[in-house]
Amino acid sequence: MNTKINSVHFKVSKKLESFIKEKLDKMPSIYDGVIGSEVILKIENAESLKNKVVEIRLIIKGYDLFAKKQAKTFEEATDLVSEALKKQLIKHKEKIRGI
C-alpha cells in the first residue's frame, strides 16, 4: 500500500514514520480495496497538552475515508485515527456486501 506522510513545520522521525506505516499496513487485511493513504501530521495550539493532530485519508476503490484525531502524542493520535478508519472500513465493506 502506498502511504504518503506530510508533516507541517517539523520533520518526522523514522520511528514515527514506521509506526504510522505499520498501523496503515493492517488496513488491506480488513478490506482488500485499499489503494493508498495520505497522512498529515500537525501541531496545533502549542499551549495545550493535546496538541498533536493526525489526519488520514484512506483511498479505497470508489471512495475516500477520512479521520482526524488530536492527542498528547502522535502515536496516540495515530491509534485513535486507525481505530476510526477500521470502523469506517468495516461499515463500508458491509454496505458493499449488502449486510
CATH number, domain with residue 15: 3.30.160.100
Residue 69 lies in a domain: yes
Query: Do residues 2 and 21 touch, judged by C-beta distance below 8 A?
Result: no
Confidence of residue 99 (pLDDT cuts 50, 70, 90): low
Cα 62 off chain centre by: 18
- What does the chain come to in residues? 99
SS3 content of the chain, % helix, strand, coil (to 5): 40, 35, 25
Domain containing 50 equals: 2-93
**pTM of the predicted protein model:** 0.90
Cβ atoms of 34 and 86 within 8 Å: the answer is no
Distance of alpha carbon 63 from alpha carbon 67, whole angstroms: 13
Q: How many domains does the chain have?
A: 1
Domain membership flag for residue 98: no
pLDDT 10s digits, 25-47: 999 999 888 999 999 999 988 67
